[in-house]
């Protein structure tokens, strides 16, 4: 197998908690607590999990938009975490990001043409008339009229602004884009347009995506592989079909069963997780999921032993000491796949 485009190893990001007037560090929020994964060229790896699980922090730490505490990130042969400022800036041409909120991620005082053009100027890719032409091409490519270049962000709808964000990321011809919840703020019909656009661009340009999301139905649609995060840890990682068909981790099973089925009459046996996600400032010992886990074999060992992320079946990694292959402690009918779909449009 060829070397992956991006390799993340034991990435850690802890935020200090400061207290008192002298700002004494009284604890650590363990937002990302040692995660490892690869992203191959032209592949989409989805990073899913609930709010506070550390998925966005992970995405930003990889690009060094926030400095990771420790670990290593290698991108296209470069060790990202040891690069100097100038080298990092050059490398960022190849690694871009699209943000969730298309309202706050565009400068309201810049025309969208200027927003898209900025990257071209900074990286000295084009100037003058050549840059204008390039901006118009980019807008056209993301489905915006080239003559919109002189308009300002407030004149656009959420979906259109997200297209501007995509054009801005594409302007420097990256090979890898972190998509941080790019469609979460959009209405369903517009969401579908943006998801299709991202897929078309990937096909045409061979882009690799780290697709950060909490909506599992979008993830199933767009991802090649999926990593599930919980409290700063990757608890399961598998090709998309495998993960949705045969989830191993009790947490993944609960997460999948919680997605409302858009089919009336299909009432799934839902694993209702009790309680809330614990605070990452004070994570549980052992397996971070054990206080909410409903696996019948759960015992005090789970509270003691930190489960390693192991390859349980080929390509399917999971961090659970009680479950080896998917032996379904919950009925499979609780998951969606096994129910034949009565609606097939």
Partner 1 sequence: MTPPLLEIDNLRTWFYTDSGVARSVDGVSMRVDAGETLGVVGESGCGKSVTALSILRLIRAPGRIEPGSAIRFEGKDLLTLAEADIRHVRGNRIAMVFQEPMTALNPVFTVGDQIAEVARIHTDMSRKEAAAKAVEMLRLVGIPDPERRATEYPHQLSGGMRQRIVIAMALVMNPALLIADEPTTALDVTIQAQILELLADLTRRLGTSILLITHDLGVVAENCTRVIVMYAGEVVEEATTSDLFRHAHHPYTEGLLGAMPRVGGHAERLATIPGTVPAPTNWPAGCRFRERCEYAWERCEQEHPPLYQIGEGHVSRCHLAVEPERRANRHVPIAAQVGAGAA
Residues 110-139 that bind partner 1 (CB under 8 A): 139
**Per CB under 8 A, 263 contacts partner 1:** yes
Question: Smallest distance, Å, CB 71 to partner 1?
Answer: 26
Please give the Cα distance from 46 to 227 (Å, whole number). 6
Binding mask 161-200 for partner 1 (x = CB under 8 A): -xx-----------------------xxxxxxx-xx--x-
Q: Which of these ranges, 28-36, 37-45, 112-120, 208-216, lies near partner 1 under the rule CB under 8 A? A: 208-216
Please give the Cα distance from 284 to 230 (Å, whole number). 12
Please give the Cα distance from 109 to 98 (Å, whole number). 19
Question: Smallest distance, Å, CB 91 to partner 1?
Answer: 31
Question: Smallest distance, Å, CB 136 to partner 1?
Answer: 10
Binding mask 220-259 for partner 1 (x = CB under 8 A): xx----------------------x---------xxxxxx
Question: Smallest distance, Å, CB 161 to partner 1?
Answer: 8
CB closer to partner 1 out of 32 and 216: 216
Structure tokens at 105: 């991620």
Please give the Cα distance from 328 to 271 (Å, whole number). 12
Residue written as token pair 């995060």: 229
Question: Smallest distance, Å, CB 328 to partner 1?
Answer: 16
Q: How many CB atoms lie within 10 A of CB 208?
A: 22
Can you tell me which of 216, 231, 238, 288 binds partner 1, judged by CB under 8 A? 216
**Per CB under 8 A, 2 contacts partner 1:** no
CB-based contacts of 130, cutoff 8 Å, min separation 6: none
Please give the Cα distance from 91 to 94 (Å, whole number). 6
Structural contact between residues 228 and 243, judged by C-beta atoms closer than 8 angstroms: yes
Q: Which of these ranges, 7-15, 109-117, 156-164, 295-303, lies near partner 1 under the rule CB under 8 A? A: 156-164
Structure tokens at 165: 């964000």
CB closer to partner 1 out of 94 and 337: 337
Please give the Cα distance from 253 to 235 (Å, whole number). 12
3-class DSSP string for 102-122: CCCCCCCCCCHHHHHHHHHHH
Instruction: Please name the residue ranges forming H helices in the chain.
Output: 55-62, 85-92, 112-122, 128-141, 158-170, 188-205, 216-222, 240-245, 250-258, 300-304
CB closer to partner 1 out of 264 and 314: 264
Q: Are strands 233-239 and 95-98 parallel, antiparallel or unpaired?
A: unpaired
Can you tell me which of 264, 300, 314, 327 binds partner 1, judged by CB under 8 A? 264
**Per CB under 8 A, 143 contacts partner 1:** yes
**Per CB under 8 A, 214 contacts partner 1:** yes
**Per CB under 8 A, 266 contacts partner 1:** yes
**Per CB under 8 A, 155 contacts partner 1:** no
Residue written as token pair 């995509």: 166
Binding mask 274-293 for partner 1 (x = CB under 8 A): -xxx----------------
The three-state secondary structure class of 16 is strand
Question: Smallest distance, Å, CB 285 to partner 1?
Answer: 21
In sign, the C-alpha dihedral spanning 220, 223, 229, 232 is negative
Contact residues for partner 1 (CB under 8 A)? 50-51, 139-140, 143-146, 148, 156-160, 162-163, 187-193, 195-196, 199, 214-218, 220-221, 244, 254-267, 270, 272-273, 275-277, 336-337, 339, 341-345
């Amino acid at each position: 197998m060829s070397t992956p485009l991006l390799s993340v190893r034991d990435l850690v990001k802890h935020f200090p908690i400061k207290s008192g007037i002298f700002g004494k560090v009284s604890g650590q929020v363990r937002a990302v607590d040692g995660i490892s994964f690869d992203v191959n060229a032209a592949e989409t790896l989805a990073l899913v999990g609930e709010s506070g699980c550390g998925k966005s922090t992970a995405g930003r730490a990889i690009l060094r938009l926030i400095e990771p505490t420790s670990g290593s990130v290698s991108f296209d042969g470069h060790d990202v975490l040891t690069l100097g400022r100038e080298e990092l800036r050059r490398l960022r041409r190849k690694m871009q990001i699209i943000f969730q909120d298309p309202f706050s991620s565009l400068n309201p005082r810049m025309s969208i043409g200027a927003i898209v053009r900025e990257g071209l100027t900074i990286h000295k890719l084009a100037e003058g008339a050549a840059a204008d032409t390039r901006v118009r091409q980019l807008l056209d490519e993301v489905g915006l009229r080239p003559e919109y270049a002189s308009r300002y962000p407030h004149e656009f709808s959420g979906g259109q602004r997200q297209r501007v964000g995509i054009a801005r990321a594409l302007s420097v011809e990256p090979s890898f884009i972190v998509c941080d919840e790019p469609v979460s703020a959009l209405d369903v019909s517009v969401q579908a347009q943006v998801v299709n656009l991202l897929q078309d661009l990937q096909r045409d340009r061979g882009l690799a995506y780290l697709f950060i999301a909490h909506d599992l139905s979008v993830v199933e649609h767009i991802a090649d592989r999926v990593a599930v995060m919980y409290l700063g840890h990757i608890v399961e990682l598998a090709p998309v079909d495998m993960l949705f068909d045969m989830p191993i981790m009790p947490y993944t099973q609960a997460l999948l069963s919680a997605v409302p089925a858009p089919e009336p009459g299909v009432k799934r046996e839902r694993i209702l997780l009790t309680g809330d996600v614990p605070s990452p400032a004070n994570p549980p010992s052992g397996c971070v999921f054990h206080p909410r886990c409903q696996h019948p074999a759960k015992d005090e060992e789970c509270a003691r032993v930190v489960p390693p992320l192991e390859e349980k079946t080929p390509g399917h990694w999971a961090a659970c000491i009680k479950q080896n292959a998917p032996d379904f402690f919950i009925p499979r009918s609780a998951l969606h796949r096994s129910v034949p779909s009565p609606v097939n449009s």
